[in-house]
Structure formats: structure tokens, C-alpha cells
A = this chain, B = another copy of it.
């Protein structure tokens, strides 16, 4: 089960964060363990190791070129000894014969298969022509090609152009910022209430900020179709309403790219996601990491779909290490995420970690919840900005269950201290009394995060 040189043939499908983290870590670990690995990476696209999370900021003008989003070029990967084959789309896998099949019919044999195919953006039928291509002026925000297309569309659009963003999750809010900073009018449309990763009382602060900055926000509408003239979008329609639009951004989510595994015998979740163990293993000689997978939430043990670069690189690294004889593991996450909305006078940082109230109730907790308002720095300092902190703990055990933050500059990364408490399985008292850094430009004497935790602790 090896190539002619005796090396184990590792085939990685997908050349982005998870796949390339796995490949490089495997090579690094192999120098220590003495394993001989022949690593081939297959990717249907033309780019490797790029930051999809950076694309909204490229669209906004913060980043000069798509090249800057590429962490490591194809040449650099090849110089490290990885056989990287771009434009190689895998369309099938045979776990018995240990091969994958490419779109052109070529079969590639492997001893170990790593699935790191990611999760492309969801494109609803109403956005597509009969030939399957999107109408002019309509696109997603996921790949380098997507970003380049948006830069072209932005450049071609007139000064008074209006951008409708469908979806108000992280990407939707980030793209709204980008379009506003480019000088366009912006409408954000969403099926639910927007920012579904936040509790109502926190999400509404984001809606308010979007409006204050000059965006239209339309909540609770399901888009049913587009108005099209000469193959180009001119408006967005929903049941009982419509909005003129020159450009339409689809930011309604992503879906694991695991169709090529259909019939392979590998089990997937309903959404198509794989569920690898902490070392990335999904079956004998088959591994997976990144956005094509669900991740395990430590707090309640739930499998959840969180396609985030930080999980992809961590799980990929553990996978690569294990593959080469190491023992690194990705021991799950606590559901931390962050973004910001910044335009003109508005600068709002948004972050969350842990369970939602619904998650907590589903897990059998008796959640006690409180929102506390304060400032990011001592009140008398010019740096002091409003911040609201949502804290949830379990009444019986006093265990910290979740924290959410919405506030001005300096608010967002405060979530990390709460995430650390959740990681350790700590209590709301730990969060309230532990030793966070205080000086007037950075915090109040009791950091607002600790005031928020203390207030919940007092109610248990």
C-alpha cells in the first residue's frame, strides 16, 4: 500500500486551509517520526490557501489584491515537496479500491485519503439562468474568483448604484459594510431576524447599527425571485414586496462539498457534513477536516456545522500530525465567533461564545440570563465606548454556558476570556472573579465582562 519508493500515498482533496494545514503538518511530523509520505493535493480550482474570510475586506478596499489573501502560493507548496494538482476536480471515491476519480476520468490511487473539500456558497434556483449560471449583477462571496467578480461589478456600477445583500449572518453584515464603504446604497434582506448566532436582545443592536449607518434592513422576508432585464438583475422580490437593485449579494450560507462521496459508503450528516474524530479520522484510512465537516462543541457534545477558518486550520493540523504518526488532536470548540460592522461613525464589534439559550435548554440546563451594559474603558477616558454583554449560566451548577458581546472598539476580543472559561468548563464565578487586566484605557476596575458575570452569579 505505497508507491514504488515505499512511501505512503496520501491524497488530499481540497487545497485550502484544512487540506494544506494537514499536508504541511504531516510533512513536518514525518521528519520526526521517519514516516515516508508522498502527498498529492487535488483541487478543482486555480487558487490555494486563500483567506475566504478576507474577501469582504478586499471588496471594501482594505486589501489591494486577491494575491494578498493567499497565505501560500502553489509554488511554495510544491517547493515543500507537495505534489499539488490544480484544476483537478474529484468526482468520485472508491474506498475499497482506494482510488478517487477525476472529472476527466483519471483514477488516482491512495493509501490514505484526506477530504478537505470545504463548503461552497449556496446559490438558490431563483438566482440562476436555465443554463445554471447566475444572472449578471448577482454573486456569492466565497472564492477568490467571487471577490474578483465583485471588484469588477463594483467598478462598473454607477455612483448611485444600490446593493441588496440577501442574508444577515456574518458574511452578510461584512459585505454590507464593504458596499457602504464603496459608496453604494445598501439593503440587507433576511429570512429571520438577522444575526441568528446571537440572541434576540443582542442581534437587534446590530440591526440598529446597520440602520444608523444608513442601510435599509428588511427582516423576516423570504426572497422568491429576481427582476431581470436583458439577463441582468434589476430588483429582488419577496411575497408581497420588492426592492430595486443593481447588484445582489447572496450570503445565505454554505454547504459541505461532499457530493463526490455519494455511494462511497461514508456516513454524512443530513447537511452532507462529515464528522471526523479529534484526529480527523472518519473511517479506516479516510480522514477529513475543515468546512466539509461538522465540529464537536465541548460544552454539550453537540455536532454543529461551523465552517470557520480557525477550526479548519486546527483540525487540519491535528489530522496531518496524526497521519504522520503524531498525536495532536483537535478537542472540539466552544462555538466562538466574531465580526464587526464599521462604517462612518458606526463601529460595532460583535462576538459570541458558548451555547444559545435554546441550546442550553435542549441540553437540560436551567439557564439564567442577563444583559449588562457598560463601557470598554474607564468611563472618564476618551476610549470608553458602550458595550453590552449577555451572560448565561446554569442555575444548579453555576457553570458558565454562554457569553455574547456587542459594542464599540475593544469589545469584540473580550469574548476570548469567556471562551477560555468555557474551554475549561468553569463557572460564572470564575469569569466574575478571575484576574483580567485593568488600566483606565482598557477597562473598568471590574472589567465589564466581570460585572456582567457577577450580576448573573448574584441571581443564581
Do residues B54 and A378 form an inter-chain contact, with CB atoms below 8 A?
yes
Q: Does A356 contact B (CB under 8 A)?
A: no
Residues of B within 8 A of A443 (CB): 413
Among A127-135, A241-249, A257-265, A429-437, the one that faces the other chain is A429-437
Cβ A435 vs Cβ B335 within 8 A: yes
The residues of B that contact A421 with a CB separation of less than 8 Å are: 420, 424
Pair A434/B338 contact, Cβ less than 8 Å: no
Residue A446, interface by CB 8 Å: yes
- A439 to B342 Cα, complex, angstroms: 14
What are 15 A-B pairs with beta-carbon distances under 8 A?
A53-B439, A54-B381, A57-B380, A310-B436, A310-B445, A312-B445, A313-B446, A330-B433, A337-B437, A337-B439, A338-B437, A415-B437, A416-B417, A417-B420, A423-B430
Indicate whether A419 reaches chain B with its CB closer than 8 angstroms: yes
Cβ of A416 and Cβ of B430 under 8 Å apart?
no
Q: Are B442 and A380 in contact (CB under 8 A)?
A: no
Q: Which residues from chain B contact A314 at a C-beta distance below 8 Å?
A: 433, 446
Partner of A62, one of B382, B430, B434: B382
Q: Are A53 and B440 in contact (CB under 8 A)?
A: yes
Partner of A170, one of B69, B349, B426, B439: B439
Question: A404-431 interface mask toward B, CB cutoff 8 Å, 1 = contact, 0 = none?
Answer: 0000001011111101111110100010
For the complex, is A388 an interface residue (Cβ under 8 Å from B)? no
A440 proximity list for chain B (CB < 8 A): 51, 53-54, 57
The 4 closest A-B pairs by CB, nearest first: A420-B420, A338-B437, A424-B424, A416-B417
| A422 cross-chain contacts in B, Cβ below 8 A | 435
Of the four ranges (under 10, 10 to 19, 20 to 34, 35 or more), the interface on chain A belongs to 35 or more
Choose among B51, B410, B436, B442 the residue that contacts A445 (Cβ–Cβ < 8 A): B51
Is there a chain B Cβ closer than 8 Å to A351's Cβ? yes
Q: Are B446 and A412 in contact (CB under 8 A)?
A: no
Residue from the list B379, B381, B420, B437 in contact with A424, Cβ < 8 A: B420
Q: Is A48 an interface residue (CB 8 A)?
A: no
Known: A380-B69, A420-B420. A412 touches B442 (CB 8 A): yes
Q: How far is the CA of A441 from the CA of B412 in the complex (A)?
A: 10
Residue of B nearest to A331 (CB): B433
**Cα separation A440 to B381 with both chains bound (whole Å):** 27
Asked if B416 and A380 make an inter-chain contact with CB atoms under 8 angstroms apart, the answer reads no
- A446 adjacent to B62 (CB under 8 Å): no
| Bound CA span A416–B426, Å | 15
A336 at interface (Cβ–Cβ under 8 A)?
yes
Say whether A68 faces chain B, with CB atoms less than 8 Å apart: yes
| Residue of A53, A336, A412, A442 ringed by the most chain B CB atoms within 10 A | A442
- With both chains docked as a complex, state the minimum distance between the C-beta of A142 and any C-beta of chain B, in angstroms: 15
Chain B residues lying within 8 Å of A412, measured Cβ to Cβ, are 437, 442
State whether A380 touches B54 (Cβ < 8 A).
yes
Considering only CB atoms, which chain B residue lies closest to A309 in the complex?
Answer: B445
Bound Cα distance A69, B444 (Å):
12
CA distance A290 to B228 in the complex (A): 70
List chain B residues, Cβ under 8 A from A63.
380-381
* Residues of chain B contacted by A17 (CB below 8 angstroms): 445
Asked if A27 is at the interface of the complex by the 8 Å CB criterion, the answer is no
